[in-house]
Amino acid sequence: MSRLARLLLLGATGLGAAVATERWLGSLIAAGEGPDPVMKMAIAIDAPIEAVWEAVSDIERQPLWMHEMKSVRLLTPGPAGIGSRGEADVRIFLVGVVDLVEIDVYDPPVAFGIRHVGVFAGSGRIALEALDAGRTLVRWDERLVPPLFPNLGQLVQKPILGAIFQADLERLKEMVEARHAEAIGGAGADAG
C-alpha cells in the first residue's frame, strides 16, 4: 500500500470515527444524558454592582477585557437593549470569524445576554449579584455551537475556551477594580 493510500485510509477512518462520535453525543444530549456543553465561569469583583454593570454592558469597550474580541460594532441604532444586534471580529488561535449576535437579555444591573446568530450558534449569559455594597459576583455562562461537528466541537472547545473566558473575567476584574479605586480616590480628594 502506498504512503498516499495509507494517509487516505487513516483520514477516512478518523472522519468516520468523528461522525460516529458526533451522532452518539447528539443522541446522549438529546436524551438529557450527555455532558453539559455550557462553559461556566465566575469571579468576585471588589466594586459595587452598578460599576460592574457599567463595564459589562458597555459593548463597544468589551474588547478591553475580552482579548479574543478584536473589535465590535453595533448594527442597530439607539441605546443597547433587547433586540440590538452587533458583530464582533473574534480571533482565537489564529482563527478569525465575524460573530453576529443579538441581545436577548438586558436587565440592568443584573443580567446581560446574547444569542450567537452567525457562523457559531449558541448563547452567552452574564449575571451579576451584589454580594454586599462593595462586592459583586459575576457569573458568565457561554455555549458556542460550531458549524461542523457541533456536539463533538462543543466538548473539545469547552476546556480551552472556558479557560480563555475565565481569563477575560480576570481582566474585567482588574479593569473595574482600578476604575472604582480611581473614582473613590477622586471623590475622596474632592471632598478633602
Quick: pLDDT tens for 65-112: 999 999 999 999 988 899 999 999 999 878 899 999 999 999 999 999
Q: Quick one: CA torsion of 126, 89, 166, 28, rounded to 10 degrees? A: 80
Q: How does pLDDT run across 45-74, given as a tens digit for each residue?
A: 999 999 999 999 999 999 999 999 999 999
Which pLDDT score is estimated for 113?
97
CA distance 7 to 82: 50
Which cell is 9 given? Answer: 485510509
Q: Is the peptide bond before 109 cis (omega within 30 degrees of 0)?
A: yes
For residues 36-48, average pLDDT: 95
pLDDT at 145 > cutoff 70 = yes
The pLDDT > 90 percentage for the chain reads 64
Q: Which helix (H) or strand (E) holds 167?
A: helix 150-191
72: nearest Cα among 55, 94, 91, 90: 90
pLDDT computed for residue 93 by the predictor: 77
